[in-house]
Chain A
Amino acid sequence: MTMTVLAEKQIIESGPSLHQRLAARGFDAVTLLVIPAFALLALLFVYPFAYGLILSFEPKAGSAWSNYQRFFTDPYLYTTIWKTLLLSVPVTVLNLVVSLPVAFRVRLMYRQRLLTTILVVPITLGTVLIAEGLLNYLGPQGWFNRTLIAVGLIDHPLRLVHNYWGVFASLLINGFPFTFLLVLSYVTGIDPALEQAAATLGANARQRFTSVFLPILMPGLAITFCLSFVQAFSVFPSAVLLGEPAGQTRVISIAAYQAAFEEYDYSMASAIAMIMGIVQLAIVLGMMATRGLFYRGPVAGTKG
């Protein structure tokens, strides 16, 4: 008996072991599992990014900044920023605006699974297949124009491919499922009792949307905007296949591609990629800043 009592006392005096103290701070054997992820990130993201950043300051000729100087003095290059924004921002906004009411309707449906499956199909098809499909469908001899002519709405086929609108349509189709699924998850995360409470307090459908749903959804919509925008901003295949890659839809990724694989100037291509990243970052940061204006806590109502 005395032996056991003594042994217990010793343990108490020595305090928690190093293992226990580390675990209390969140470090245990499970923490080691993040090492592969760290290695992968470093290898596939950090290293290429740093490599590209340094490469962009090592131009073929001129000072370290000459790639950037060239980009912002050559209208053929710097206008790509504006052209890309002109495509990606309206497409993202439109996708959000269309997703929202659809998500509000789908939220009440019983067969959500089926619908989401159908919506995921365009994502799995890939941009090239959709671009090729649209090329036929929206082309001068495609069903779309033929139907409009048959109905008598137009006399001559509309020019919908090999210009801005072709790329626009393709981005819309590619981006919608993604945007919609994100919006749907935000919308279904709101406790339905909030809407019921607003209704019993006298708010009509429009007031319920503007005073309850929209303010609660805003942060989520801002994130959705950022993710969808980044996707649309890096448009490449459809801008080439469905657009006018030398003119209206000469997006920034085309400029980078041409620098790398037509001029074989990897340094310039890296600089363009960096500029692309900075523009995306600026928009995303701007959007995130607006989130600060809205409520950002839990959306499920209150505890319980």
Chain B
Amino acid sequence: MTIALQKFDELRLEQVRREFGGLNALKDVTLTVKRGEFIALLGPSGCGKSTTLNCIAGLLPVTGGSIWLDKRRIDTLRPEERGFGMVFQSYALFPHLTVKQNVGFGLKMRGVPKAEISRKVDEALALVRLTGQAQKLPGQLSGGQQQRVAIARAIVIEPPLVLMDEPLSNLDAKLRLEMRAEIRRIHNTLGATTIYVTHDQDEALSLADRIVVLKDGVIRQVGTPNELYEKPAHIDVADFMGFRNRIKGRVIRQAGASATLAVGGSEVTGIMRSSVQDGSEAYAAIRADDLMTGEPGQNAFAARIETIEYRGREFVGTARTSDGIDLVFRSDHAVALGANVHLRAAPERVLVFSEAM
């Protein structure tokens, strides 16, 4: 392996701001990325994740704060002076150049001798398993192959940092899983440092060493996939980690780490993830997986089945309580539409968040 990515210790974003037309696209984003890490920027569309990536790449100017690569300030540099490899959502392959010329483009711009370009391009194409397609034009390749070319083109310039902007969103579901594994394999083989933007929590959870959840231009939580999945620090993060039930209620009592909310006519008890006060409004978050049909009692909602979907091993359905709360639940047996059931979640599987943060 002669593709050797440039070494560095850390990339630091210090209170990076990006204002656009009076709107704060990014508000004081501070983040440190260590060499070798795979970081996923996760959030809904418009949360600022792509903006953050473009600011790092130099495609968007920051309006405040600074970005540092070790002791070098880079937010003032033009994108061509930063030398980061970037993979675009649309791949952005040059349509008039062959696969080989596309991958060699960055080296050619750097004035690398032809023989060396050829050798490195071949190596990069071998790394992304695309040997034998070198003389084709991008238009002759499938979506997955184009994606591989885009990755080869980004890594062949041996960048300290590889930036990926939703690289898999244009692929079909099967290919997406395949390329996901490929991206991680390439990251590991090269010992690369990757910042990966996605709106898909499965992608983030399976790929990343650390996930940064953004919402409205603010970092909500930074943590390992496990930390985020088990202990989301914010209701927005919980939303993204599969807590599809977000039930608003009023705190009626607290005991140790748990709090009980009154929700319409029922009560629901869960583990506090942020401090709440008695009498104040709060959210109970429950995963669909943890809400199942059962007996009436503690943490049970009386609800009427509205939809039911077959998912192979199980059923996933929606139900509505008499107070008008919509719930998503799981069931291991078929439930009749319109049936009145009780949906229960174990208190240790319910998280309670304060309303505002």
**A interacts with B:** yes
Q: Given A199-B58, A199-B80, output 11 extra A-B contacts at Cβ < 8 Å.
A: A196-B88, A196-B92, A197-B92, A198-B105, A199-B78, A200-B154, A202-B110, A203-B80, A297-B96, A302-B139, A302-B146
Q: Knowing A298-B139, A303-B146, say if A201 contacts B95 (CB, 8 Å).
A: no
Within 8 A of A (CB), among B78-112: 78-80, 82-86, 88-96, 105-106, 108-110
Residues of B within 8 A of A (CB): 57-59, 78-80, 82-86, 88-96, 105-106, 108-110, 137-139, 141, 143, 146, 153-154, 157, 163, 170
**Main secondary structure on chain A at its contact with chain B?**
loop
- The residues of A that contact B82 with a CB separation of less than 8 Å are 200
User: Is the beta-carbon distance between B96 and A303 smaller than 8 angstroms?
Assistant: no
- The residues of A that contact B143 with a CB separation of less than 8 Å are 303-304
- Determine the distance from Cα of A294 to Cα of B90 in the docked complex, in whole angstroms: 23
Query: A191 at interface (Cβ–Cβ under 8 A)?
Result: yes
- Determine the distance from Cα of A148 to Cα of B95 in the docked complex, in whole angstroms: 49
- Determine the distance from Cα of A299 to Cα of B170 in the docked complex, in whole angstroms: 18
Q: Knowing A196-B59, A200-B84, A203-B109, say if A304 contacts B91 (CB, 8 Å).
A: yes
The residue of chain B having its C-beta at the shortest distance from the C-beta of A195 within the complex is B92
The residue of chain A having its C-beta at the shortest distance from the C-beta of B57 within the complex is A200
User: Is the beta-carbon distance between A301 and B109 smaller than 8 angstroms?
Assistant: no
- The residues of B that contact A294 with a CB separation of less than 8 Å are 96
Residues of A within 8 A of B (CB): 191, 193-194, 196-204, 207, 211-212, 215-216, 294-295, 297-304
User: Is the beta-carbon distance between B90 and A200 smaller than 8 angstroms?
Assistant: no
- The residues of A that contact B170 with a CB separation of less than 8 Å are 303-304
- Determine the distance from Cα of A196 to Cα of B54 in the docked complex, in whole angstroms: 10
The residue of chain B having its C-beta at the shortest distance from the C-beta of A190 within the complex is B95
Most buried by B among A197, A199, A200, A203: A200
In the complex, 8 of the A-B residue pairs with CB atoms within 8 angstroms, ordered by the A residue number, are: A197-B153, A198-B109, A199-B79, A200-B58, A201-B157, A202-B83, A301-B91, A304-B146
User: Is the beta-carbon distance between A207 and B109 smaller than 8 angstroms?
Assistant: yes
The residue of chain B having its C-beta at the shortest distance from the C-beta of A217 within the complex is B96
- Determine the distance from Cα of A304 to Cα of B154 in the docked complex, in whole angstroms: 19
